[in-house]
Homo-oligomer: A and B are copies of this chain.
Amino acid sequence: MAKLLKGKEVAAAVNADSKERAAALKEKGIIPTLAILRVGEKGDDISYEKGAMKRCANIGVAVKNVILPQDTDQETFYQTIDDLNHDPSVHGILMFRPLPKHLNNEKARNAIAPEKDIDGCSDGSLAGVFTGNGRGYAPCTAEAAVAILDHYGIEVSGKNAVIIGRSLVVGRPLAMMLMERNATVTICHTRTRDIPEMTRRADIVVSCMGRIEALNAEYFSRGQTIIDVGITWNEAKQKVSGDVLFEEAEPLADAITPVPGGVGAVTTSLLVRHVVDAAEKTLTD
C-alpha cells in the first residue's frame, strides 16, 4: 500500500514551528501581523479570510483587516496600500485578487512592498522564484507541494519530476522550485502530445490541472510519488476531488497525497509562516 502523504501532518509541523518563532518574536516586543486587504464582499474572499484569521490566531499572528467598498476610488486604494507598506506594525500584506477592474490589477500587484509581499504576487517575488535567488515569497500552493515532499523525506535531487499544468500559481513556480532542488523537470499542459507517456516515466508526478479524477492508471507506473494539487468540487460525489483517480493510482504509487487532506491542507500554514518570516526579517534588516 502506498504511503499516504497527509497534509495535516505537514501543516501541524509548519504551525508548531511558526508558533514557536512567533512566541520568540513576542518576547522581543514584535507581534507578527498580517494585513488582509479586501475590496468588496466576495464570498470566496470572505471564506478564505476567515480560514486565514483562524490559523493566524492559533499561531500567534495578529490580523489587521482592511476592508474597502467595491467602488473605492484609485487614490484611496493606492493610499491604503502605501499606508500598509509604511506601517511598521504590519509585516505581511494579503490582497485579494482579482480586484474590481477600475483599480488596475497589474499596478496593484506591484504596489505592495516586496518585503511584505507574503503572497508572492509582485514582480520581485515572481523573479525570485524564477531565478531561485531566495528573495520574495513563493506562491503558497506551489510551496505546499514542495513542503510535503520535504516533510516526508522524499528525495527530489536527480529525480525526474513531471508536472501537469503550467499556471502561474502552481505549475511554473513549482517547476522552478523542484529544479532548484535539482530535479529534472518536465512541464506538461493541454498542448502536450501524450501526457501518459510523459508521466509514466516520472519518479514524481505532480498534477495541478483542476480536472476531476482525470488521471487513471494509464498515467502512472509502479513506485512513483504522486502529488495531487487539484481541488475541485465534485458534484456527482458531493465532495472535493483531485485530478487523480485515487483508487487506480494508489495501488501503483509508493506515496500519494489524498484529496481532500493533501496539498490544500498546507497552504494557509505557509502563508502564515511567511508573515513570521517577514517579521523576523525586520529584526535583521
Interface string of A149-190 (1 = CB under 8 A from B): 000000001111000001010001001100100111111110
CA distance in complex: A172, B198 (Å): 20
Beyond A127-B130, A130-B126, whether A191 also contacts B182 by CB under 8 A is yes
Q: Would A158 and B192 count as touching, CB distance under 8 A?
A: yes
**A residues within 8 Å of B by Cβ?**
123-124, 126-127, 129-131, 157-160, 166, 168, 172, 175-176, 179, 182-189, 191-193, 198
Q: How far is the CB of A178 from chain B (nearest CB, A)?
A: 10
Residues of B within 8 A of A172 (CB): 130-131, 176
Residues of B within 8 A of A130 (CB): 126-127, 129-130, 172, 176
Q: Would B184 and A192 count as touching, CB distance under 8 A?
A: yes
Residues of B within 8 A of A193 (CB): 158-160, 184
Q: Would A191 and B157 count as touching, CB distance under 8 A?
A: yes
Residues of B within 8 A of A184 (CB): 186-189, 191-193, 198
CA distance in complex: A184, B185 (Å): 11
Closest to A162 in B: B186
